[in-house]
Amino acid sequence: MMDRIPESELMNEEEQAKAYAFADFSQAHNLFVEKFQEKFPSLNSSFNDVILDIGCGPCDVTRRFAKAYPDAGFHALDGAAAMLKHAEELNEKEGLTNRIKLIEDCIPEVILPQPFYHVIISNSLLHHLHNPFALWQTIQQHAKPYAHVFVMDLIRPIDEHTVKFLSDENINNEPDILKQDFENSLRAAFTLNEVRQQLDETGLNKLAVEEVDDFHMIIYGTM
């Protein structure tokens, strides 16, 4: 197994943020929503509480959730101003500004608009964190009793050959900067066993860790 190579925690370069905001992540992001609905079928489309999205980026996943749960509100958190600029523009374009409140801050010290949430989601943030426990600590601090938690992230490949193969198979029609970011993210990702160990150490071992395709895992459960 290749060693983990951490990458930058914030995607704050304009070229990088723009490439990410306008890339076609529909397959992975639709999978995120579909798997959430599969794991939490009791939350139907009439769910009307506020959902916390940690590491929202340009809010592509948030907007997909907003369409799946049309009565829900969202607090969308990210530390990169460049990402949130695109999020604001795209949210406004789709008429979702009133439902998605953007928050520029970093975990775990973030001050949120409300202390606790019934649903907490996070997509592709974990691998960016130099200290992965920042995510688990934030979830512990802000989850209501019996809150639904759903995290999706990359799985670190076994070797560099697999990194290149996955990049060629999945990012072949995107700008070079996005392909490089994807490869860096794969190298920075955790294995399933590493995530399970993190959950054990933080007392979150009731959350399940599941591989859903060649390079994505989900971490989910009820607090």
Structure tokens that stand for 18 in this block:
């723009």
- Distance, in Å, from the CA atom of 97 to the CA atom of 90, rounded to the nearest integer, reads 9
Decide yes or no: CATH 3.40.50.150 for domain 14-153+171-204. yes
Q: What is the pLDDT along the chain (223 residues), one digit of tens a residue?
A: 899 999 988 777 788 888 888 888 899 999 999 999 999 999 999 999 999 999 999 999 999 999 999 999 999 999 999 999 999 999 999 999 999 999 999 999 999 999 999 999 999 999 999 999 999 999 999 999 999 999 999 999 999 999 999 999 998 778 888 999 999 999 999 999 999 999 999 999 999 999 999 999 999 999 9
pTM for the whole structure: 0.96
Where would I find the H helices in the chain? 14-21, 26-39, 60-68, 81-93, 133-142, 160-170, 176-188, 192-201
Q: Where are the domains of the chain?
A: 14-153+171-204
Q: Token digits for 155?
A: 């799985």
